């Protein structure tokens, strides 16, 4: 029997009036890299934020913090319609189905959800890691450089290189 070949996914353009915000978190030992990158329907980078944290964190908590960063970016940049993409299925499912329980993690997710203004129309979608390569690469960059910074339409060559690689 032949194994199935690996399936590779690519970034899919959103509708013209929708901003796609890819979010991700990477953990390396006791360091966490969190990344948000926003792209328009033509694939142009509108901005984003890299966050470096120097303490141990569970992967779901790190992904939740990445989503919080994405929500804050959308709110601060007056985004009207957005699709948030993340490769953490548990996090995406919680927001899609809004499960109720009394855990501290679920309480934190509710607080993150409340960050978005009701005027922002949004969806949260799961994407395969291979579709989130820019965000994953930028998380690793935040850890490598041990820094936190925001960027807009003018961004560093490191970010530009990752965007070009993902476009191919």
Q: pLDDT averaged over the chain?
A: 79
What CATH number should be reported for the domain holding residue 59?
3.30.420.10
Is 5 part of any domain?
no
Q: Where are the beta strands (DSSP E) in 78-146?
A: 81-86, 121-126
pLDDT digits (tens, 9 = 90+) for 66-123: 988 998 899 889 999 999 988 888 888 777 766 666 677 777 777 777 776 666 788 8
Is 23 part of any domain?
yes
Write the DSSP string, 4-42. Answer: PPPP--------TT-EEEEEEEEEETTEEEEEEEEE-TT
Q: Please count the structural domains in the chain.
A: 1
How many helices (H) and strands (E) are present in the chain, helices listed first? 5, 6
Longest Cα–Cα distance in the chain? 53
pLDDT digits (tens, 9 = 90+) for 81-96: 999 988 888 888 777 7
Is 95 part of any domain?
yes
Three-state DSSP at 132 gives: coil
Is 56 part of any domain?
yes
Question: What pTM was estimated for this model as a whole?
Answer: 0.78
Residues in a beta bridge with 149: 50
- What is the number of other CB atoms lying within 10 angstroms of the CB of residue 161? 13
Is 168 part of any domain?
no
Is 14 part of any domain?
no
């Amino acid at each position: 029997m032949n194994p199935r070949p690996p399936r590779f996914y690519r970034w899919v353009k959103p509708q013209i009036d929708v901003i796609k915000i890819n979010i991700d978190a990477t953990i390396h030992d006791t360091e966490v890299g969190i990344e948000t990158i926003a792209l328009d329907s033509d694939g142009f980078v509108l901005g984003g934020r890299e966050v470096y944290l120097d303490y141990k964190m569970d992967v779901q908590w790190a992904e939740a913090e990445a989503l919080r960063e994405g929500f804050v970016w959308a709110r601060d940049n007056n985004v009207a319609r957005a699709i948030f993409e993340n490769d953490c299925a548990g996090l995406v499912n919680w927001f899609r189905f809004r499960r109720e329980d009394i855990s501290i993690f679920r309480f934190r997710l509710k607080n993150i959800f409340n960050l978005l203004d009701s005027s922002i129309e949004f969806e949260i979608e799961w994407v395969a890691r291979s579709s989130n390569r820019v965000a994953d690469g930028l998380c690793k960059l935040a850890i490598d450089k041990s820094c936190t910074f925001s960027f807009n339409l003018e961004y560093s060559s490191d970010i530009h290189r990752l965007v070009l690689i993902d476009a191919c």
